């Protein structure tokens, strides 16, 4: 099956969104299987609020294209030639800081999950999910949520519990950066998995105010993603794991 060269590297001209609607979510697809990329593209392009702006076949192309195209969301495999998805993740965040990265992979290895989170990924989804669920995943991550396939979530919770236990065994601790009372409230709600809109309703503040608090929290704690903030919250016993 021949590929569209424009989709591989040249910025595509965004489709016009419906009158009065916001600009579509710009998505970059990176996977070494052309057939899988094409399937994702067909599903995503059928959504009025999503625009596929490019495709890549490995992590090296992902970083280069992200810097050129500045996507909102990157759907990226882990196991790829030349440069893996995890290796590309940190570099991609530097090339396109505002991009949300979702690992879409067959790997259910705990190490890959943890390394992806540490590298700045906002989501980790197994390819066992229905392809029809991908558009909603794109919207959720673009909206500030973190997504993990249910079968991987238990592994992450186990790691959280381990982090909390190791924290108890520390004899010396470096004082944690000081967060305001409101920032602490926001962090606890982030750790519970609430999105910006839900947090805004819970605290009776605007969604933009929530976004500002989350940004300040990440800056103060020197973290890169909401998912890392959850790990921090568990380690500092702000969220109880049963």
Residue 200 structure tokens: 């805004």
Residue 9 is predicted with a pLDDT of 44
Residue 139 structure tokens: 């919207």
What's the whole-number average pLDDT of the chain? 80
Cα separation, 60 vs 184, in Å, equals 38
Cα separation, 26 vs 12, in Å, equals 10
Report whether 20 contacts 66 (CB < 8 A): no
pLDDT in tens, 14-46: 444 444 457 899 999 999 999 999 999 999 999
Mean pLDDT of 227-237: 75
| C-alpha distances out from residue 240 to 110, 158, 166, Å | 21, 12, 14
Burial of 44 (0-12, 13-18, 19+ CB in 10 A): buried
pLDDT in tens, 67-124: 999 999 999 999 888 888 888 888 898 899 999 999 988 887 777 888 888 888 888 8
Q: What is the homologous superfamily of the domain 5-148 according to CATH?
A: Response regulator (3.40.50.2300)
Within the chain, which residue ranges are assigned CATH 1.10.10.10?
A: 155-235
**pLDDT bracket for residue 63 (50, 70, 90):** very high
| C-alpha distances out from residue 170 to 2, 119, 158, 178, 241, Å | 57, 25, 19, 20, 18
DSSP string for residues in 82-145: SS-HHHHHHHHHHHSTT-EEEEEES---HHHHHHHHHTT-SEEEETTS-GGGHHHHHHHHHTT-
Cα separation, 44 vs 29, in Å, equals 10
Instruction: Look at residue 232 and tell me whether its pLDDT is greater than 60.
Output: yes
Within the chain, which residue ranges are assigned CATH 3.40.50.2300?
A: 5-148
DSSP 21: P
Q: 155-235: which CATH topology?
A: Arc Repressor Mutant, subunit A (1.10.10)
Residue 17 is predicted with a pLDDT of 43
120: left (phi over 0), alpha (psi -120 to 50) or beta: left
Q: Which of 17-21, 62-66, 82-86, 190-194 has the highest mean pLDDT?
A: 62-66
Residue 12 is predicted with a pLDDT of 40
- pTM to 2 decimals? 0.59
């Amino acid at each position: 099956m021949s590929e569209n060269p424009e989709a591989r590297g040249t910025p595509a001209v965004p489709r016009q969104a419906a009158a009065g609607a916001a600009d579509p979510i710009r998505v970059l697809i990176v996977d070494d299987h052309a057939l899988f990329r094409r399937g994702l593209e067909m599903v995503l392009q059928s959504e009025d609020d999503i625009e596929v702006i490019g495709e890549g076949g490995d992590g090296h192309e992902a970083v280069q294209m992200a810097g050129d195209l500045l996507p909102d969301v990157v759907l990226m495999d882990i196991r790829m030639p030349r440069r893996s998805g995890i290796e590309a993740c940190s570099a991609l965040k530097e090339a396109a800081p505002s991009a949300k990265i979702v690992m879409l992979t067959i790997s259910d290895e705990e190490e890959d999950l943890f390394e992806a989170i540490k590298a700045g990924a906002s989501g980790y989804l197994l390819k066992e999910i229905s392809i029809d669920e991908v558009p909603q995943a794109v919207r959720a991550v673009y909206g500030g949520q973190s997504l993990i396939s249910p079968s991987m979530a238990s592994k992450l919770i186990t790691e959280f519990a381990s982090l909390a236990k190791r924290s108890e065994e520390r004899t010396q601790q470096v004082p944690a950066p000081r967060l305001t009372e409101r920032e602490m409230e926001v962090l606890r709600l982030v750790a519970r998995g609430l999105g910006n809109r839900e947090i805004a309703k819970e605290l009776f503040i605007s969604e933009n105010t929530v976004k500002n608090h989350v940004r300040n929290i990440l800056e103060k704690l020197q973290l890169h993603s909401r998912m890392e903030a959850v790990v921090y919250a568990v380690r500092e016993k702000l969220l109880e794991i049963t």
